[in-house]
Every structure is written in C-alpha cells, then in structure tokens.
A = this chain, B = another copy of it.
Amino acid sequence: MSPKDSPAPTTPVTTRVTIRTVAQDSGVSVAAVSKVLRNAYGVSDALRARVTTSIERLGYRPNVAARGLRGQSFTLGILLTELTNPFLAQVVDGVAEVVDPSGYKAMMAVGRTDVSLEIRLIESMVDARMDGVLLIAPLLGSKVIERFARQIPTVVIGHHEPTATLFDTVNGDDRRGGRLAVEAFVQHGHRDIAMLSLTQPLGEGRNVSDLREEGYLAAMRDAGLSDRARILRVIPPNQDSGIGGIAAILAAPDRPRALFCWSDLHGVQVRNLAHRMGIAVPDELAILGYDNTSVAALPLVDLSSIDQDGRGQGIAAARALLGRIEGRRDPTHLLLPPHLVARGSA
C-alpha cells in the first residue's frame, strides 16, 4: 500500500513537462522560454511562435510554486469577513470581472469575523507570495493594515482612510448615502426621521457607520430638523441581530415615523417586526435600508434601499490593486456615489 511500490510499468512515470522540456522541444534555451512566458523584453516573434507552439503541443503549465520562489505568483488574495452578507457577493463579482481576463488568479479566504483569524489568513497570503491582497470590510485596525501594506500591495474596501499612503482604499460615499436617505424621506413629507445604527463605532478607521451618521445629521440640519435628529444605537457589532433593541424601538411611544437602517439585514428585521406587530409599512412606518441586496428586492420584502454599487467598488478595487502591483506608489482613495432604489417600504 506504500505509495511507491511497483513503479507502475504501464505508466512510464510520464516525466513531468517543465520549462526544460519545452526548451528542448523548441530548441531554445530555458531562459528564452522563461522570457516568452513572462513576455519579457528581447524575444523575436519567430522565437515566441516556436516556443508557444511547443508549449501547446506539450501542454506545459508553469509551476506556480517555483515561480513564486523568485518572481511573481500571479495570484491575488481576497479577504472576506463572512460569506453570508450578500453585499460581498456583489463586490466579489466586480473583482472577478477585472481579475479574470488579467492573467492573475483570485483566491479568497474567509475571516469569519475573527480578527486573529483575519491576521493569520493575510499572513498566509504573504507566505504564499501572493502578488497583492484585497481586504473587503476587514475588522482589522489601520495599524495592522499598514504593517501588511509594507510587505505586500494592499487595497481595502469598506474602510475609510483617506490619508493612508501605503495602501489604496475604495468606498461608497457613506456620508452622501446618509444624506440621500434623509433627503428621500423629507421629500415624502417626513419630519420624524431616525437612524438605526451600531452600538459602537467599528474601531479606528472603520468609520463607515460614523460617516453615514454624519451624513444623516448634516442632512437633518439642512432640512431644519436638527432638533428631531435621533440616532438609535442598538445594533451590536457582532453577528447578533440585535432584535431586542429593534423591538423596543418599535414598541416605544415615541416610535419614529421614518427609519433609516444601517444595512438591509436590519432593514429586513425591522420590516419583519413591523409586520408581526401590526405596524403598517410605509403608512405608519417608512423604512430604508442600505446595500440594495437581493433580499431587499424580493417583492415579499420590498425594501427601499441605498445602493452603494458593490460591483463598482469591486471593479475599482481590483484595478487599483493591479495598478499597485505594476508599480504605482502614490495612493488612490476612491469614493463611489450611492443612489436610492425606491420600493414599497418608503
């Protein structure tokens, strides 16, 4: 049963086809083949043609490990926090669209909302000599990100850090998103507009929710509603739904007439509870979510939402990463405009 008894006489140990095989087959040096592979400078069309036909004939495929030892691995690492958030799917889709035809390969890992796991995963991406990493809404603090950015080209989504110089960021314009929400409500004649937010800001740099709150407050001020602005901080930052806090708000005598929710996940919760508690939506309570996920779009749910163009963010981030890998050093910090998708809940 040992893997190495009887050298399989029928299968002549079909000696693996390496760069050397190709070189021999096409009658050129190993170095020349390598050049063709990397389409480096200094190869004639004739030689390139000869080599490529050899490659095809032999079915040669470069060994990534050997490659990574000296050169690039042509692999990008994508760090996700969790798979269940449908917003991520949009982002990843956008990323794939760019990465796919680029010759690079994207490999994803899931941090499972655990900071130490996130760190280990990024470390293993560095170990694997990946050419760059894309962090999507990581829990990590800026300090740690910076440390990694020193070692490997890095782009971050969902993490505002407009002054960072070592890595790029791509974000939805969350301040604008907060404004949009209020403006939409005001336009429908609402005045009693509250915002449902997180119990605590998400650590240094992860100020996505802060900015939405800022936008909300600014727009309330502009509408002359400063004194009626209310930010209800009841959503715990972990996986927990915080459903108790939401229920309390809906049951309270001063329940708001319009509620802007931190994310679709919670917008849906609110709608659920309203349904159960017999609160008419949108007549007694107007609801607005964030992310425009597929769940919000279900007719049964029918939740209005702010779309922050996850797919666009993915595309932009992937482009930024490839740019950085190809040598760009000066940071770029992109902000994509969100827009409102009106449905029945508001």
Q: Is the CB of B61 within 8 A of A69?
A: no
* Interface status of A68 (Cβ within 8 A of chain B): yes
- Asked whether, in the complex, the Cβ of B75 is within 8 Å of the Cβ of A96, the reply is no
Chain B residues with Cβ below 8 Å from A276 are 299
Interface residue A128 (Cβ < 8 Å from any Cβ of B): yes
Q: Is the CB of B129 within 8 A of A63?
A: yes
A1 proximal to B (CB < 8 A): yes
Q: Is the CB of B100 within 8 A of A89?
A: no
Smallest distance from the beta carbon of A114 to chain B beta carbons, Å?
Answer: 9
Identify the stretch in A103-111, A168-176, A202-210 within 8 Å (CB) of chain B at 4 or more residues.
Answer: A103-111
Instruction: Convert A293-311 into 0s and 1s, putting 1 for each residue whose CB lies closer than 8 angstroms to a CB of B.
Output: 0110011110000000000
Interface residues on A, range: 35 or more
Q: Which of A283-341 contact B (CB under 8 A)?
A: 294-295, 298-301, 327, 329
Is A127 in the interface zone, CB < 8 Å from B? Answer: yes
Which of chain B's residues has its CB closest to A82's CB? B89
Complex Cα distance A106/B124, Å?
Answer: 10
A300 and B301: CB pair below 8 A?
yes
Given A272-B299, A272-B300, A300-B271, check contact A61 B123 (CB 8 Å).
yes
A151 CB, min distance to chain B CBs, angstroms: 11
- Give Cα distance in the complex from A123 to B74, angstroms: 14
Q: Would B275 and A299 count as touching, CB distance under 8 A?
A: yes
Is the CB–CB distance between B83 and A83 below 8 Å? yes
Does A3 make an interface contact (CB < 8 A)?
yes
Tell me, yes or no, whether A342 is within 8 Å of chain B by CB.
no
A residues 101-155 in Cβ contact with B at 8 Å:
105-110, 112, 117, 121, 123-124, 126-129
Nearest Cβ in chain B — how far from A233, in angstroms?
24
The CA of A88 and the CA of B92, in the complex, are separated in Å by: 15
Contacts of A3 in B (CB 8 A): 327
* Other A-B pairs beyond A84-B89, A295-B298, 13, CB < 8 Å: A62-B127, A64-B124, A65-B66, A65-B68, A83-B83, A93-B112, A105-B109, A105-B121, A106-B110, A107-B109, A108-B108, A271-B300, A295-B295
Q: List 19 A-B contacts (CB under 8 A).
A: A64-B68, A64-B127, A64-B129, A65-B66, A69-B69, A83-B89, A84-B86, A92-B110, A96-B112, A105-B121, A107-B107, A108-B108, A108-B110, A272-B298, A275-B300, A276-B299, A295-B295, A298-B301, A300-B300
